[in-house]
Amino acid sequence: MGTNISHSPSDTVALGEAWGRTVETGLVIGLCGDLGAGKTQLVKGLARGLGIESSVHSPTFALVNVYTGGRLTLFHLDLYRLETPDQIIAAGLEEYLNPEGVSVIEWADRWFGPKPGHSAWREDMSHTPSGRKKGLVRWVQMEILSPSERRITYEDLGA
Counting Cα atoms < 13 Å in the Cβ hemisphere of 136 gives 12
Give yes or no for residue 136 having a pLDDT over 90: no
Per-residue pLDDT at 152 = 97
Give yes or no for residue 34 having a pLDDT over 50: yes
Per-residue pLDDT at 115 = 65
Gap between the Cα atoms of 8 and 65, Å rounded: 25
Q: What is the mean pLDDT of residues 32-37?
A: 94
Secondary structure of 41-106 as H, E, C letters = HHHHHHHHHHCCCCCCCCCCCCCEEEECCCCCCEEEEECCCCCCHHHHHHCCCHHHHCCCCEEEEE
Domain that holds residue 30: 25-112+120-143
**pTM, 2 dp:** 0.87
State which amino acid sits at residue 67: Y
Q: Sign of the C-alpha dihedral, residues 66, 159, 83, 42?
A: negative
Instruction: Share the mean pLDDT of the chain.
Output: 88
Per-residue pLDDT at 131 = 45
Using DSSP's 3-state secondary structure scheme, residue 3 falls into strand
Total domains, the chain: 1
Q: 17 in a domain, yes or no?
A: no
Q: Residue 139 belongs to a domain with what CATH number?
A: 3.40.50.300
Gap between the Cα atoms of 44 and 35, Å rounded: 16
What are the residues whose beta carbons fall under 8 Å from the beta carbon of 146, sequence distance 6 or more?
Answer: none
Residues facing 138 on adjacent strands: 29, 156
Give yes or no for residue 128 having a pLDDT over 80: no
Q: 98 in a domain, yes or no?
A: yes
Q: 4 in a domain, yes or no?
A: no
65-124 per-position pLDDT tens digit? 999 999 999 999 999 999 888 999 899 999 999 999 999 999 999 888 876 654 444 555
Whether the CB-CB separation of 152 and 6 falls below 8 Å is answered with yes
Neighbours of 82 (CB within 10 A): 19
